C-alpha cells in the first residue's frame, strides 16, 4: 500500500448533536451525543488514509497540551507515524467546537492555535521525499506556510517523484488567488470543494473554473460537490463526473477529507481516475452517516463493497 505524507492542519474537533439552538443565559439543553475527534484537512485525512490501509506519516504542528496528546494518542492507535509533528510551546493545539444541526449542517467556532505557527523550518523533508504521495491540507489556515512556502514544499516533493495533492479551507478574504497561485504549477491533483474554487477565481460556470486552474498550472482538478458528487478533469482529458451515494445524513464534518484520502488510495491501486473517484465518493458517503470526521469508514474492503453495491444520487449537468 502507498506511503502517504499528510502535511498541514491538525485540529481537535468537539462535536455535539443534535443542536437546534444555543440556550439563552445559563440554561442547559440536552443533546444526543458529544464526541472528540482528530480532524482537519491533513489530520482527518491521515486517519481515513490509515483506515483504508495506507502507510501514513503526519506532518504539522500541535501544542504542548492535552489536546495535542489526544491527537498523537489517537493517531498512534491507527498506526500513523507522528515523527513529523512538532509541538509548539505557548500556543494551544488548534480546536473547533461544532454544534451539529439535525439536517447535518455544522456551524463552527475555531481556534487557529498551533497550525498558524507551522513553518518551513518545521517541515520534515526526509519524510516527504521518501513518500509516494504528499497530501497538503489546510491552505488559508497555515499563516506561515501559505503562499510561496507552499509552492516550495510541493516543488520539493515533485522533484523527488512524489505525487502531490492539495486541499484547503477557503475563507472570505481578498487575497485567495494571490495565496494559492504560486503553488498551482506544483499540484498534481487540486482538490477543493467546487464552491471554494469559485470563491478563488470568481467564476461560476464549472468548466470555466476547471479551465482557470488548469491554465495556471494545476495538472488535474478534483472538485468535491456534495450531493452532486465530484468533477475530475485534466489538461489532456475530458471532465469526468462521479455521483455521490445515497446515504442517511447525520453530519457532513470530514466528508471532504475522506474523499481526498480514498482518492489517493484508489490511485495507489492503479485504478482509473473515475474508479478512484467512485471509491472516494463511497468513503465520503460513509463519513456522513455518523458524528465526526472519523465516522463511518471501517476499512478498505468495506468501502469497496459500498462502492460496488450502494445506489448513487442522480446528477445535474
Domain ranges of the chain: 3-22+31-172+253-309
CATH number of 3-22+31-172+253-309: 3.40.1190.20
Cα–chain center distance at 54? 15
Please report which confidence band the pLDDT of residue 294 belongs to, taking 50, 70 and 90 as the band edges: confident
The confidence band for 104, taking pLDDT boundaries of 50, 70 and 90, is confident
pLDDT at 277 over 90: yes
pLDDT score of 102: 87
Give just the sign of the alpha carbon dihedral 262, 268, 269, 273: positive
The C-alpha atoms of residue 219 and residue 234 are separated, in whole angstroms, by 6
In the structure, what pLDDT confidence band is assigned to residue 201 with cuts at 50, 70 and 90? very high
Contacts of 274 (CB under 8 A, 6+ apart): 232, 240, 242
Measured between alpha carbons, how far is 143 from 137 in angstroms, rounded to an integer? 13
User: How much is the average pLDDT of 178-198?
Assistant: 98
Q: 51 with 293: CB under 8 angstroms?
A: no
CA 162, chain centre distance (Å): 18
Question: pTM of the predicted model, to two decimals?
Answer: 0.95
In which band, very low, low, confident or very high, does the pLDDT at 34 lie, cut at 50, 70 and 90?
very high
- Identify the CA nearest to 135 among candidates 263, 232, 242: 263
Whether the pLDDT of residue 129 is over 80: the answer is yes
- Cα 75 from chain centroid? 16
- The C-alpha cell at 155 is 516543488
Amino acid at each position: 500500500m502507498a506511503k502517504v505524507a499528510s502535511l498541514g492542519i491538525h485540529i481537535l474537533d468537539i462535536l455535539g448533536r443534535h443542536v437546534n439552538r444555543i440556550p439563552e443565559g445559563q440554561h442547559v439543553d440536552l443533546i444526543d451525543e458529544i464526541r472528540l475527534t482528530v480532524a482537519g484537512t491533513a489530520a482527518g485525512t491521515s486517519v481515513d488514509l490509515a483506515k483504508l490501509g495506507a502507510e501514513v506519516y503526519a506532518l504539522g504542528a500541535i501544542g504542548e497540551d492535552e489536546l495535542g496528546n489526544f491527537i498523537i494518542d489517537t493517531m498512534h492507535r491507527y498506526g500513523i507515524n507522528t515523527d513529523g509533528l512538532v509541538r509548539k510551546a505557548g500556543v494551544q493545539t488548534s480546536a473547533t467546537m461544532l454544534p451539529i444541526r439535525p439536517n447535518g449542517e455544522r456551524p463552527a467556532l475555531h481556534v487557529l492555535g498551533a497550525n498558524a505557527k507551522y513553518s518551513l523550518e518545521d517541515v520534515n523533508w526526509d519524510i516527504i521525499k521518501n513518500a509516494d504521495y504528499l497530501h497538503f491540507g489546510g491552505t488559508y489556515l497555515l499563516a506561515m506556510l501559505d503562499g510561496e512556502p507552499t509552492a516550495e514544499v510541493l516543488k520539493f516533493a515533485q522533484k523527488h517523484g512524489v505525487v502531490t495533492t492539495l486541499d484547503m479551507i477557503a475563507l472570505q478574504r481578498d487575497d485567495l488567488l494571490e495565496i494559492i497561485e504560486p503553488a498551482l504549477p506544483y499540484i498534481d491533483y487540486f482538490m477543493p470543494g467546487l464552491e471554494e474554487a469559485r470563491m478563488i477565481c470568481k467564476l461560476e460556470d464549472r468548466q470555466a473554473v476547471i479551465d482557470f486552474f488548469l491554465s495556471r498550472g494545476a495538472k488535474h482538478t478534483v472538485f468535491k460537490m456534495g450531493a452532486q458528487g465530484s468533477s475530475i478533469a485534466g489538461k489532456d482529458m475530458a471532465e469526468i463526473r462521479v455521483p455521490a451515494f445515497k446515504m442517511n445524513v447525520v453530519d457532513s464534518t470530514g466528508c471532504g477529507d475522506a474523499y481526498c484520502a480514498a482518492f489517493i488510495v484508489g490511485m495507489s491501486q492503479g485504478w482509473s481516475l473515475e474508479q478512484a473517484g467512485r471509491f472516494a465518493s463511497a468513503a465520503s458517503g460513509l463519513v456522513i452517516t455518523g458524528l465526526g470526521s472519523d465516522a463511518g469508514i471501517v476499512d478498505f474492503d468495506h468501502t469497496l463493497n459500498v462502492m460496488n453495491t450502494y445506489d448513487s444520487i442522480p446528477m445535474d449537468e
